[in-house]
Amino acid sequence: MDRLITGLAALVLAGCFGESALPVALLSSVNATPTVVFSADATRVSALIRVNVGLACVVLDDDFAAKLDDLPMMIKSRGTTGEECSPPVIELEAPPRVAGGLITMTYPGHEISIGLGDLLVMRSMVVVPDGPFVFEPGQRIALRLSPAADLTQYRPVLYFSLAGMTTMDVPALEVVGDELHFTLPMTRPDSLEVLLIRYQDVWPLCGGAQCLMQHPISIVQALAWK
């Protein structure tokens, strides 16, 4: 606690902000365990760093660094200060489509690591038996997902969209091994989206922080109708 109070006192930017501005603390100066809220998909890996230290804004140290494997991640925000705080954000666009990616964040006296498992691997779904995504309304179909382990690690949720708007059609899903079985709606939607949702909020492949995966895995497929 003495270290926290000393760090906060040393880092108050007196005179730089108005009287109502909150004090500022460097990430390395606080004792509270950070919470990292992250997302990872084919387009972007991003992470938001939250630390609860009461009435203070936490910002990144000057020598904070983050990378995904050997690729440097960009600091989108070091954390903003003033009457309200916003947390630091880092990201990497177009990450490599590999299994086992590791985010590493380093700053004085600390390191945070987040194993991404298979979040970045290529995902697909195909019709069983094999065929194009051309159907009749009300048709019973089966989709095989890849990787096959997805349906044992995640809970599938399916949405239909028409002209960019989510429809009210919510099919009853039957999971058979690595396949999803369901009936197509009569409304002729133009796409379907399978969301793969984790059973727990806390991400297990995490060290030096509490990690939460923010967005589920998403697989989107256009539909055509006979």
Q: Indicate if the pLDDT at residue 189 is higher than 90.
A: yes
Over residues 106-131, the pLDDT tens digits come to 999 999 999 999 999 999 999 999 88
In this prediction, residues 199-209 reach a mean pLDDT of 92
Higher pLDDT, 10 or 39: 39
Our measurement of the distance from residue 179's CA atom to the centroid of its chain's CA atoms, rounded to an integer in Å, reads 25
**Predicted local confidence at residue 15, as pLDDT:** 38
Band (176; pLDDT cuts 50, 70, 90): very high
Task: State the span(s) of the chain assigned CATH 2.60.40.
Answer: 2-115, 124-199+216-225
pTM above 0.85, yes or no: no
Over residues 147-165, the pLDDT tens digits come to 988 998 899 999 999 998 9
Task: State the average pLDDT for the chain.
Answer: 89
CATH class entry, domain 124-199+216-225: mainly beta
Q: What percentage of the chain exceeds 90 in pLDDT?
A: 76
The CATH fold assigned to 2-115 is Immunoglobulin-like (2.60.40)
**Predicted local confidence at residue 21, as pLDDT:** 78
